[in-house]
Structure 1
Amino acid sequence: MGKSIASRFENIDITRSVLRAVIINDDELTLEMDFCLEEAHPDYEAPGADEDCCFHPGLLKFAGISKLGLDRAENAGETKRRFAIQSFNIEGTKFDMACEWGDIHLQARSIRVLTE
């Protein structure tokens, strides 16, 4: 049996992580992320001199979406390539996130957390 969603975020500081891109395909949504890894994470490396966190690329993939609400911020993407996260919640099949990019609310059959 696979890991729970919560355990997949073990040793990841999601509120210090950042969103890089939102990709929509048919009934799928992919969020490209830079996850902020904590020291106990197996992929952790000491941050560089100009970074305050060990960032590691990854994806949140949502499939079988039955409800989707995207409320993009007016200036999202004009000057930024990384968007700070203000709130993040996964509960069962529901997902909600507020960030500098905008607000994302959805319900999906499958929620996967992938690190590169």
Structure 2
Amino acid sequence: MGKSIASRFDNIDIAKSTLRAVIINDDELTLEMDFCLEPDHEDYETPLEGEDCCWHPGMLKFAGISKLQLDRRDAASDTMQRRFAIEKFNIEGTKFDMECEWGDIHLAARSIRVLTE
């Protein structure tokens, strides 16, 4: 049996992680992330000098989307920002909600995967 969604975030500090990109493709949504890994994560490395996290690229992939609401903030589209801070993050079953500097994302999906590169 696969791991639960919550356990896939073990040793990842979501509050410090950032969103890099939102990619929509048919019934799929991919969120490119810079995850802030905690010391017990298998990919953890000592942070570089001046950094407070072990930054590691990754993705949240949602497939079989039955509901999708993207509310992009005007301020986000006016700047060439590379990372967007996460303000609220919640996954319950097939439902996902995130508020961040980029905007708000609400969806329901058949499949939610957490991938680290």
What is the TM-score normalised by the length of structure 2? 0.96
Alignment of 1:69-88 (within 5 A): 69-77=69-77, 78-88=79-89
- Paired with 1:76 and 1:46, the residues of 2 have a C-alpha distance of 31
How many residue pairs were aligned? 116
Cα distance in 1 for partners of 2:36, 2:22 equals 18
Over 4 Å off, 4+ runs: none
Q: Residue 7 of structure 2 aligns with which residue?
A: 7
- What is the correspondence of 1:99-114 to structure 2 with a 5 Å cutoff? 99-114=100-115
How far, CA to CA, are the matches of 1:61 and 1:85 in structure 2? 17
TM-score, structure 1 as length reference: 0.97
Percent identity (aligned): 78
Alignment correspondent of 1:47 = 47
Read off the aligned partner of 2:112 and give its amino acid letter.
Answer: I
Output the CA distance in 2 between the equivalents of 1:14 and 1:57.
Answer: 13
Give the AA of the match of 2:56.
H
Looking at structure 2, the residues matched to 68 and 42 of structure 1 have their Cα atoms a distance apart, in angstroms, of: 32
Unaligned runs of 5+ in 1: none
Distance 2:113 2:44 in 1: 21
Q: Distance in 1 between matches of 2:23 and 2:112?
A: 15
Structure 1 residue 75, shift from structure 2 partner:
2.1
CA distance in 2, matches of 1:115, 1:79: 25
Report the Cα offset of residue 21 of structure 1: 0.2
C-alpha RMSD of matched pairs (Å): 0.8
Q: What residue number does 2:59 align with?
A: 59
Instruction: Letter of the 1:80 partner, please give it.
Output: Q
Structure 2 residue ranges without an equivalent (≥5):
none
When you count strand as a share of all residues, which structure comes out higher? Answer: 1
